Structure 1
Amino acid sequence: MNDNDSHPLNFYSRLVSGNPDNPAATSMLIGAGLTLQDLNKAQVGVLSTGFKLNTCNMHLNNLASIVEKSIWDAGLVGGTFHASGVSDGISMGTDGMRASLPSRDAIADLVELHVTGEHYDGVIVVPGCDKQMPGSVMALARLNRPGFMLYGGSIAPGHLDGDDLTIVSSFQARSAFNQGLITRERYDQIIQKSCPGAGACGGLFTANTMASAIEAMGIGLPYTASNPAVSKQKMQECYDAGASIKNLLQKGIKPRDIMTKEAFDDAMVMVTVLAGSTNAALHLPAMAHAAGFEYTLDDIQGVSERTPVLGNFTPSGKYAMQDLHNVGGLPALMRYLLDNHMLHGDRITATGKTLEENLRNVQPVPLDEIISPLENPLKSTGHIQIYKGNLGTAVSKITGKEGTYFKGQARVFDSEQAAVNAYDHGEIVPNTVIVIRYEGPVGGPGMKEMLKLTSSISGDPRLKGKVAYITDARFSGGSDGFILGHVHPEAQIGGNLAFVKDGDYIEIDASNNSFNLLVDDETLVTRMRGWEAPALKVTQGALLKYAYNVSQANKGCITDEYRPNAIRIVPQSKL
């Protein structure tokens, strides 16, 4: 608990609000609508990543306004600010996708800078789409002031002739239409019905993966991941937010108290149980870095080896997040896992209670087609696996449906679009390993996320299950198939992916978590000697700054890695 004399609720804002040493700040706050009584109240910033032309974000400003009102109702001062991100669904398959991952760190930077400069005492973040959640939580960890995440919620499934639709249905419809498997009328119906309203993409793609991980970690309040975007429950979350942040301020509970190593292990357990997105292997290390410690790919592999897949969710399964909501939500699943000693119940969370206390009165999730029992899992170990070999280190998403071994000839592309063009022209054949390089964090720049190609092939009976993918970029949480991404070192900085040629054989062995280019060492060395790094694709702006500062994928593509020798000291000239 706080000692109100040594650490009052308005510990930060008192430096500018009503402080006689900062009269201009007091004048501006009064001009902004604060009364003299308000000047002594704790101030809470409300981040909204809302913007209109995207289903994931179109409702967030409304949710944030309810959160802001709840803060005032709790006897605090609330104010909304903004840090908009990038819509992955809209930018997917375009050069705009290069902005997606960098937007995560830009959001973290903007929130950190705004809260620091404005002297807020607490922060509530209201994000929607994929990178906005880890970006805003990274900011919470850096700032380490009382705060939590309130997820905007997922979209309801679309419906067509009794079938549920998600955003991936739109990508798959493109492939089916191009092959003549569906009519133009059917294609148009799918496109028009896949996204029926507000909310993030409804399957266990990256948004719902990260929302679930963050709730399991404890920095998101209970039910925030599974309550739909358009629901009474989501509205009630917002109404309750003010009391929740006041409780954290009174108890002095900060993000780094919550975001411990055990909390990250529990988050990764949730990602694994749900068969969530490989993007978790980027965002968990980045969030841990923000919280002041390392969470490595070895940590992720360790959790994956001991944790089964239980959730039958799209893209690898059948159901959407709303189906989990209908059977008790994420806390019901967490209660089942806690009862089976798979979570750390003694951890503190953003409710001010331990995880066990949060779940004490929650009924365990019913075990059926949505969630399988531990005795009969969909997969006995985790789907996210770390692969190593002479091409580097990669993150894979293997559900078991793909098989355990693939050997094929490489078809090499120096950009995602080149690979899509080859597929559209019928140039991809079975038993091919599609290699897409120079799309990593530096080479992209931005480490594009790919779904257009994988979803097209997933909907192509000629190729489904008969090709593999390797890239130094990312794969969307909506992807499935034999895929290896996040390859590092990436091609742009001289990783061995740069030396693969068309026709080379590549072997992927899921039983040994290995992937190897099957050429002899002498050939590989000869190719290295003749290689020159291609010029960066940008010469100014945000992406150039990103390329200069970003780490490799194994460290989460962070941009604030401490490098003491990176600052050049220029001696003063002698007078």
Structure 2
Amino acid sequence: MSHPAPLRSLAANSPVRRAHWLALGLSEEDLLKPKIAVVNSSSELAVCFAHLDGVARVVKDAIRAAGGVPFEVRTTAPSDFITGAGRQGSYILAARDLVTNDIEAQVEAAMLDGMVCLTSCDKTPPGHLMAAMRLDIPTLLVIGGYQASGEIDGDPVDIEDLFSGGVSEKLGKPGKHPIDEVAKQAIRGPGVCAGMATANTMHCVVEALGMCIAGSAPVRANSGKMFEAASAAGARIVDMVHEGLTPRRIMTPGAFRNAAAMVLAVSGSINAIKHLQATAVEGELDIDLFAIWEEMGRKVPVLSAVRPNGPVRIEGFEDAGGARAMLKQLESLLDRDVLVASGRTMGDDLADAGVEDAEIIRPLDRPISQGPSIAILKGSLAPESAVVKLGIRDGSRPEAFTGTARVFEDTASAMQAIAEGQLRKGDVLVLRGQGLKGGPAMGGGASLVLFAIDAAGLAKDVAFVTDGQLSGLCLKGLTIAEVAPEAAVGGPIGRLRDGDPIEIDVAARRMDVMIPAEELARRPGPGNAFAVPASGWLGVYRRDVQPMSTGAVLIDLD
């Protein structure tokens, strides 16, 4: 017979602590119950988080009904389109690690027994997963859901249309509908960006890792289904505390392989790679996500075509069965023996899973395209790594390119060159100084440049190489991002000059600058000048952030 796991919160009891909690209205009986953090990033700044207070209430009610005591705590709330406005987007990725540290500073400091994290916009899912691994207390994530989008004259419009249309209009190439009208219709309620961008990719990753109630992702924000999952999570977390079912028992190497398979099958955001690697590092797992990506990439085809990969809307993917149905289609390639949040194995959890629409979520023997949808490149221009998103491999995007470098040190000059028609067929537009330290935190400028290349009609004729990151909405032409080492730490990309010949060969997983290594090494690098000033938190981030091979964690691994 199993016995309940000991409660950390009881071991930390003291007269002063008891007095505080009694003054908050807890009873003597409550003091003996599991204490559960409800981690909420509610914010009035952005629709991504605007509905989470209502979700928190449901979770807290369920925790109380299951015999636990909930404590709601808040974290920073990073939204790419809102808090990405300052310092050229440098706060976007840097805030991920603030979320993790916010949680540690409240949940670990208070010695609580478990936590339920309300996960929403791009950086909160990895921030929550990283904290779960670091603290290793029973944890569940509740998927906050995606926003409703609208239509104009019968044409659906969403955030992708707004983002790309705004860039196109700046280049004097207006779209079918006025951008002001698109802005009024693209977002029609709370939740994350519609489409298989970073947020919905990471929500699907959470399910593939086994860290949420099965069948939670993706989900319409504020739907009955979302609230049912929130209530189930509140009830389940109390049992997980008694069972001692912690994240490091769930997020094993096999779970990370399952997550990689999910991202590859949905052709998700490349940002998932660094977020998964960072989660593994926080859990002290000695795994190489780049190697896992190559391993799974050779097995996993593309099984769904949700925007920006194809015409399917995220609502259609959810209605077809969502992440759970995708896991069912991938079942023969998964590690079915890993534990998931239910306390069962992934295989047992999938036993009754089904697929509602096998055209939207295809079986392995009838894929939309062969994989990989995302690949890792190396070579003389990327000695450590670089990431290319291939999406649906139907021949519409080149996978090999030979051209000459056109080098830019900042987003503004690259955008100006595109607007003035300075780019030519065969150019490789190189945008550098956008990396973890150079940005800092990789900023958001590279995505603007990519949409500008597409708006100028050059996506098939010009390759794009950057040490920055890309929005999950980006899938245009041949684009290589997150080149490492970055320019700011002496990477070869910082020594490129206009006219240098560059060869990109996805099949060979190579990206090279075709000049002698000795000549490249002799060239001066970019120096210590940074395009974006970084004081305060950004200064701490620039100083302490670790290389991309760690997932850009702030932990000193030496």
TM range (shorter): over 0.9
C-alpha change, 1:531 and 1:47, in structure 2 (3 Å) is: closer
Whether the 8 Å CA contact 2:49–2:77 is kept in 1: the answer is no
Residue 367 of structure 1, aligned match among 334, 339, 358: 358
Task: Specify the alignment match of 1:171 in structure 2.
Answer: 163
What does residue range 86-485 of structure 1 map to in structure 2 within 5 Å? 86-91=78-83, 95-178=87-170, 180-182=172-174, 186-296=178-288, 297-338=290-331, 341-368=332-359, 370-392=360-382, 393-399=385-391, 400=393, 401-449=396-444, 450-460=446-456, 462-480=457-475, 481-485=477-481
Whether the 8 Å CA contact 2:405–2:502 is kept in 1: the answer is yes
Task: Specify the alignment match of 1:507 in structure 2.
Answer: 503
C-alpha change, 1:183 and 1:147, in structure 2 (3 Å) is: closer
C-alpha change, 1:535 and 1:458, in structure 2 (3 Å) is: closer
Counterpart secondary structure, 2:298: helix
Rounded Cα–Cα distance in structure 2 between residues aligned with 1:183 and 1:473: 27
Counterpart secondary structure, 2:285: coil
Whether the 8 Å CA contact 2:297–2:372 is kept in 1: the answer is yes
Alignment: residue pair count:
550
Q: CA deviation at 1:120?
A: 0.9
Residue 48 of structure 1, aligned match among 32, 40, 50: 40
Counterpart secondary structure, 1:451: helix
Q: CA deviation at 1:181?
A: 4.6
Whether the 8 Å CA contact 2:262–2:326 is kept in 1: the answer is no
Rounded Cα–Cα distance in structure 2 between residues aligned with 1:372 and 1:441: 37
Counterpart secondary structure, 2:386: strand
Whether the 8 Å CA contact 2:150–2:188 is kept in 1: the answer is yes
Counterpart secondary structure, 2:156: strand
Whether the 8 Å CA contact 2:171–2:419 is kept in 1: the answer is no
Whether the 8 Å CA contact 2:404–2:501 is kept in 1: the answer is yes
Matched, 1:527 2:518: no
Rounded Cα–Cα distance in structure 2 between residues aligned with 1:215 and 1:505: 43
Whether the 8 Å CA contact 2:140–2:233 is kept in 1: the answer is no
> What is the percent sequence identity of the aligned residues?
30
RMSD of aligned residue pairs (Cα, Å): 2.0
Task: Specify the alignment match of 1:14 in structure 2.
Answer: 10
Whether the 8 Å CA contact 1:65–1:80 is kept in 2: the answer is no
Rounded Cα–Cα distance in structure 2 between residues aligned with 1:46 and 1:78: 6
Cα-to-partner distance string for 1:225-265 (whole Å, 9 max, x where unaligned): 22211311001112222211122122221111100000000
Name the amino acid aligned to 2:164.
Q
Rounded Cα–Cα distance in structure 2 between residues aligned with 1:389 and 1:185: 43
Rounded Cα–Cα distance in structure 2 between residues aligned with 1:196 and 1:149: 25
Q: CA deviation at 1:166?
A: 2.3
C-alpha change, 1:355 and 1:184, in structure 2 (3 Å) is: closer
Task: Specify the alignment match of 1:566 in structure 2.
Answer: none
C-alpha change, 1:415 and 1:181, in structure 2 (3 Å) is: closer
C-alpha change, 1:153 and 1:524, in structure 2 (3 Å) is: same
Cα-to-partner distance string for 1:508-545 (whole Å, 9 max, x where unaligned): 112211111122334323314x7634358436311111
C-alpha change, 1:96 and 1:52, in structure 2 (3 Å) is: farther
Rounded Cα–Cα distance in structure 2 between residues aligned with 1:330 and 1:539: 39
Whether the 8 Å CA contact 1:493–1:533 is kept in 2: the answer is no
Q: State the TM-score, normalizing by the size of structure 2.
A: 0.94
Once the two structures are overlaid, the 10-residue window that deviates more, 359-368 or 209-218, is 359-368
Counterpart secondary structure, 1:435: strand
Task: Specify the alignment match of 1:568 in structure 2.
Answer: none
Task: Specify the alignment match of 1:490 in structure 2.
Answer: 486
Structure 2 gap ranges (5+): none
What does residue range 49-88 of structure 1 map to in structure 2 within 5 Å? 49-88=41-80
Structure 1 gap ranges (5+): 564-575
Name the amino acid aligned to 1:527.
R
Rounded Cα–Cα distance in structure 2 between residues aligned with 1:117 and 1:93: 32
Rounded Cα–Cα distance in structure 1 between residues aligned with 2:343 and 2:515: 57
Name the amino acid aligned to 1:484.
I
Name the amino acid aligned to 1:381.
G
Q: CA deviation at 1:145?
A: 0.8
Whether the 8 Å CA contact 1:154–1:227 is kept in 2: the answer is yes
Q: CA deviation at 1:302?
A: 1.3
Rounded Cα–Cα distance in structure 2 between residues aligned with 1:163 and 1:294: 48
Once the two structures are overlaid, the 10-residue window that deviates more, 70-79 or 357-366, is 357-366
Name the amino acid aligned to 2:484.
H
Rounded Cα–Cα distance in structure 2 between residues aligned with 1:375 and 1:321: 23
Whether the 8 Å CA contact 1:204–1:315 is kept in 2: the answer is yes
Counterpart secondary structure, 2:133: helix
Q: CA deviation at 1:87?
A: 0.9
Residue 556 of structure 1, aligned match among 535, 548, 551: 551
